[in-house]
Chains A and B, each alone.
Chain A
Amino acid sequence: MAKKRNIKVLVSKVGLDGHARGAKVVSSLLKEAGMEVIYLGMFHMPENIVKAAMDEDVDVIGLSYLSGEHLIFTPKIVEEMRKHKLDDVLLIAGGTFPAEDIPTMEEMGIDKIFRAGSLTDDFVQYIKDNVKKR
């Protein structure tokens, strides 16, 4: 039997948004929960993010949006993932969004959204339960 590897998560900011506190905190907490985390940092376009996800062969992509750019970049990232057939990679997003945008983002292809004010157990457990690719 192949040795089960740790869940591997890529966390990235998108575009110019510099509110990185949440993305960094989440990255640290996922590491503490035993996952392998690649924190890509700020200033990434959809193409880079998806390329990094492929290079690193991750199970999860976590996007952090705090500047109202979520509806602009999400379709581009989903499209890029489809193009590269990353169907089995879990796509989650965190940050600040109006409630009205949550169904919209889910329709666009985000698997799960964690707004500001989420607790660590919630997102750690969600990832453990829902990782598709193992």
Chain B
Amino acid sequence: MDQTNLAEKENTCKTSWDDYLKAYYEKPSSLKSWSGYDLKEIYTPADRPEENYEKDVADAGTYPFTRGIHANMFRGRLWTKREVVGIGSPADTHARLKYLSEQGGSGLNTIADVTYEMGLDADHPWAVNEVGLTGVNITSIKDMETLTKDIPLDKVSWSLITASTAAPVTMAQYIAVAEDRGYKLDALRGSIQNDPIHFRYCGFRPACPLDLSIKLGSDVMEFCTEKMRKWYYTTVNMYDLREQGINAPQEVAFGFGIAMCYIDELIRRGLDIDDFAPRFTFYVSCHMDIFEEVAKIRAARRMWARLLKDKYGAKDPRSMQFRFAVHTAGCSLIPQQPLNNIVRIAYEALTAVLGGVQSLHCCSYDEPMCLPSEKAHLQALRTQQILAYETGVTNVADPLGGSYYVESLTDKMEEESLKIMKQVEDLGGMEEAIRTESLDRQCESEAIKRQKELDNGEKLSVGVNVFTEKQEKTTPLGVQRVSAKSAKQQIEEVKELKRTRNMKKLRDAIKCLRDDVGAGKNTIPAMIEATRAFGTTGELLGTVREVFGYPYDPMETLESPFN
């Protein structure tokens, strides 16, 4: 080795060892929680001098349910391992459902694509480009038949993710198929997301005007209260709100505000709180700050119990139980060094379980790149299984309860969430906060904050603003593509159905639906009959929209074929 090379080598070593020294003495760059609250070095009994265990915390299974809704928690039943599935055609989605159930998934969970959520049939000019890209398109009862083929609907627990005003159509399609196969409605188990109010914040405003959202969302709830006693008929989606960039207490406060819109409407319709509240569920985000997220969940349970008891006069303890599913935070995942996402998801899943989750969807590591590939989907399910079977987290209810820190942070989350709920109330309530776009402004300003935190290094993200590497050229477990052939076939089948169905029968069914909406009746019975007459998603929803004075087509391209 000549002199120059040797010197160069020593220089490299010197730089490298300097970095080591720096890393050795490194301290955390932030002493705040994810949502920005200052944290102390250590928490002690002095942080909760007035703790009243029975009143504010209590054992799991006991009001106010801070520590969990069941006394024995996972000893009674593990959480439901429920991976979200939605890809291409109903047949493609069915195949993936079957695969995951063979691999140990314990709950079915299907998600509608953007076209279905918008209330557009597969052959709609706006839909044809995007059928099946983000979920499954269901245009007619035939698609629901394909999706549910050979699945015993009284044995499985099925979560139907249709959130928008298309949810009543989904419910009608599911009910019609189930009844036609001989199932009794009160035997069906599962849930429908049915939270159209929140969905305006997810890009579906044309399909989710506020009055129609409350009307149709509440129709599903009212119908199921009467006919489907095992069915959870709304999953108020705090997760989607959190994905807009807001912080943990905002997630709880805004979610509860939206839930109260539905509760107020059902009470206005004359339902008793204890008849319907036990069927309310929530979709919660688990983001990266383990303790803050557990505290958020514990605070939400306590707040919900008190809200239902004190504000709404609930008497049945089941009405006061905050039941929830978790979706690990999609927005915490990045495409840089993508396998690291597996670790992020595992921490978030652990958080959900430490928080006492009822049902869990782990994102797949490829979430920020494409729909889950089969291998990625399986890996996500395996993440849940490792957690459930290997780590011991299922043994004891609320294992973090009694931690000076977590109890104190739970109080903080409650205090902050209540403060935000009060601000919403001062604005005139949630409906008013939505109408005046106050919520939009808060989401937008929080989202900008989140980006700036990364830009200025206030929050670190490995692969984004620290330990960055050159961009990978391939996706480690392969890329999931949506079959163009499936989409084309789906569109052709819809066109064929529209050519061949009995129009007289359909017109009669659509007229009944229109009359029922006009008379202020619950829309679900007429929707069930209209879907049996092969009325499509766009047609059923369009008919209801027109009665409410909205354009038949949310995209304002098509006219009603029934006028």
Contacts and interface: CB of A to CB of B under 8 A. Distances in A.
Interface of A: 13, 15-21, 24-25, 28-29, 42-43, 67-69, 72-73, 96-102, 115-117, 119-121
Contacts of A119: 454-455, 464-465
Given A18-B114, A99-B474, A117 B203 contact: no
8 contacts: A16-B203, A18-B204, A21-B443, A43-B206, A68-B370, A68-B482, A96-B368, A98-B369
Contacts of B474: 99-100
Given A119-B454, A120-B455, A96 B335 contact: yes
Nearest to A42: B203
Contacts of B130: 15-17, 67, 69, 72
A21 B461 contact: no
B463 interface: yes
A121 B206 contact: no
Nearest to B366: A98
Interface in B473-520: 473-475, 479, 482
Contacts of B19: none
A43 to B, nearest CB: 7
Interface string B329-369: 00100111000000000000000000000000000001011
Contact of B129 (A15, A20, A115, A121): A15
Interface stretch (B181-189, B271-279, B444-452): B444-452
Interface in B457-471: 461, 463-465, 471
B127 interface: yes
Contacts of B257: none
B548 interface: no
Contacts of B245: 21, 25
Contact of A68 (B134, B206, B244): B134
Q: Label chain A's interface by main secondary structure.
A: loop
B472 interface: yes
Contact of A25 (B129, B368, B448, B472): B448
Given A15-B129, A99-B472, A20 B448 contact: no
Contacts of A25: 245, 444, 447-448, 450-451
B368 A116 contact: yes
Contact of A117 (B133, B244, B370, B464): B464
Interface size class of B (residues with CB under 8 A): 35 or more
Contacts of B482: 68
A28 B448 contact: yes
A119 B466 CA distance: 11
A17 B474 CA distance: 25
B64 to A, nearest CB: 34
Given A16-B114, A28-B448, A69 B369 contact: no
Q: Label chain B's interface by main secondary structure.
A: loop
Contacts of A68: 133-134, 370-371, 482
Contact of B451 (A15, A20, A29, A99): A29
B126 interface: yes
B442 to A, nearest CB: 13
Given A15-B129, A16-B127, A68-B482, 19 more contacts: A16-B114, A16-B118, A16-B120, A18-B203, A20-B203, A25-B245, A43-B555, A96-B335, A96-B369, A97-B369, A99-B369, A99-B472, A100-B479, A115-B335, A115-B368, A115-B471, A116-B334, A116-B368, A117-B336
A99 B335 contact: yes
A100 B475 contact: yes
Contacts of B203: 13, 16-20, 42
A121 B118 contact: no
B173 interface: no
A82 to B, nearest CB: 20
Contacts of B394: none
A116 B371 CA distance: 15
Contacts of B472: 99
A23 B146 CA distance: 36
B529 interface: no
A98 B482 CA distance: 13
A12 B252 CA distance: 31
A115 B338 CA distance: 12
- Most chain B CB within a 10 A radius of its CB, from A17, A43, A101: A43
B202 interface: yes
Contacts of A101: 479
Nearest to A117: B334
Nearest to A119: B455
Contact of B447 (A21, A67, A72, A117): A21
B370 A21 contact: no
Nearest to A67: B134
A97 B133 CA distance: 13
B35 to A, nearest CB: 17
B123 interface: no
Contacts of B455: 119-121
Contact of B368 (A69, A72, A117): A117
Nearest to B200: A18
B162 interface: no
Nearest to B463: A117
Nearest to B87: A68
Contacts of B398: none
Contacts of B543: none
Given A16-B114, A18-B202, A69-B130, A99 B447 contact: no
Contacts of A29: 448, 451
B315 to A, nearest CB: 40
B477 to A, nearest CB: 11
